[in-house]
Copies of this chain bind each other. A is one copy, B any other.
């Protein structure tokens, strides 16, 4: 790859868009400049470009993103067959379990929801396709991390901000790596209120016909209704059925 095969103006602009996610909806030029660590003049040009194209509004002082920006992310969900393929299976799974079912993939240290069939909302967070959670303390994250070679897993843990969300949250890397080994051996991960008090979840990997893990699915339930100890017997068979139904559909 040549050194000229990189459009830095494009890269800078993408950085500016992402700056909006980290804080509030409105950004001044100076704020965006600080967040992106780009020159004010450069940020200004990127923002004015976004406004010109209709991806942002500008009131002379603050820039705000418009819904048009959703086209960019949605290009992935619309273009990738995986979410559409998983959705009906999640619907069925969710209905049979009477709980929310989700699917996600790994992106760096985070899991990204790509499909979801939600029952009554139990979490304080609102999860939709595109939502992100730290991988180390989510059941799907455990499954996805367990599928990687151990050196990669360790590298991701090293980059993760291991935060004690609840008294249950495991944040010791060695303990986590040991748990990943168990997940790999037994084929499922259970989270007992490590992300949020009151929430348990159980996840299994989704593999293609070559056995490569391409996603994870889970069922989440309120700990008050379904203690962690019961998650396995109640939901693992359903998850395994869904997993088996999907495998032949996923060719590479």
Binding site for B on A (CB under 8 A): 1, 4-14, 17-21, 23-25, 44-46, 48-49, 52-55, 64-81, 83-84, 87-88, 91, 95, 105-108, 112, 114-118, 120-121, 126, 128-132
Contacts and interface: CB of A to CB of B under 8 A. Distances in A.
A238 to B, nearest CB: 17
Contacts of A6: 45, 48-49, 52
Contacts of A69: 72-73, 75-76
Contacts of A24: 79
Given A14-B55, A49-B11, A53-B14, A5 B76 contact: no
A23 B81 CA distance: 11
Oligomeric state, in copies: 2
Given A75-B69, A76-B70, A107-B66, A46 B130 contact: no
Contacts of A46: 7, 10
A5 B46 CA distance: 8
A82 to B, nearest CB: 9
A20 B81 CA distance: 12
